[in-house]
A and B are shown apart, each in its own frame.
Chain A
């Protein structure tokens, strides 16, 4: 079973990297980009039966810093 964890900065938290990417896109001539926020994607290969609670626990204890980040979990496959 696989799960994807998306870690993103909370709204309102300054994202210097997103800003730099935004400027670079503008420098390349892409107009119409209104804002850029950078985050992380973490793919987990998990034993069948790993519960949602376990994955949330992993996010809270390590994968995301909930002071500044939100996380979203997406399960890719369910147990056969």
Chain B
């Protein structure tokens, strides 16, 4: 599996994500700078890391979404290459238009940094096949702008089409219908606020995030 981690100025989870990918897939990802206009040939998984790209100027993820590399990421997503956006990566995906909705300031205005309960709503996607449907897991969040908002027609469509991948089982940030992670209509783009790369090994206190990468590896290797 040939992975790429996109690095924006202000990304700060790029290395964590790279370590997670290497631990699970056995191969270190290429680190791709935001000004590159091409992805390495044969890239079959793209990850957008958490952090504060461009200092969250204008809106979280807004500047990163317009950087040269995102055109290549959008093209790859259109060809069906799996794309995972975690935290700021999720914000970048909504700003790019690869995922619907927007991530706004947390309803309580506080930066929320703690492990949170999630329910796996869709266990059939290429990211979530290693989880049981309806399974409760715990994965850490760390964000200020994780309040997912979309109009009710969009929310109904996401729910009706099984595109809500994860839902919070507790109040975290005011997200509409407690949505923590969503898929695009083709199912190959996942954006989520919780950090699966921070729940990977026993030293993290919890390994629930590991199965996301294992599921991807299995799908891509198949």
Contact = CB atoms under 8 A, between A and B. Distances in A.
A65 B59 contact: yes
Interface of B: 58-59, 62, 66, 94-95, 100-102, 104-109, 147, 149-150, 174
A13 B149 contact: yes
Interface of A: 13-14, 16-17, 20, 61-63, 65, 67-68
Contacts of B150: 67
A14 B102 contact: no
B66 to A, nearest CB: 6
Given A14-B174, A16-B174, A65 B62 contact: yes
Closest 7 CB pairs of A and B: A67-B102, A68-B102, A16-B105, A16-B109, A16-B107, A20-B109, A65-B102
A65 B107 contact: no
A19 B158 CA distance: 29
Given A62-B66, A65-B95, A17 B58 contact: no
Nearest to A42: B58
A24 to B, nearest CB: 11
| B59, B94, B147, most chain A CB atoms within 10 A | B59
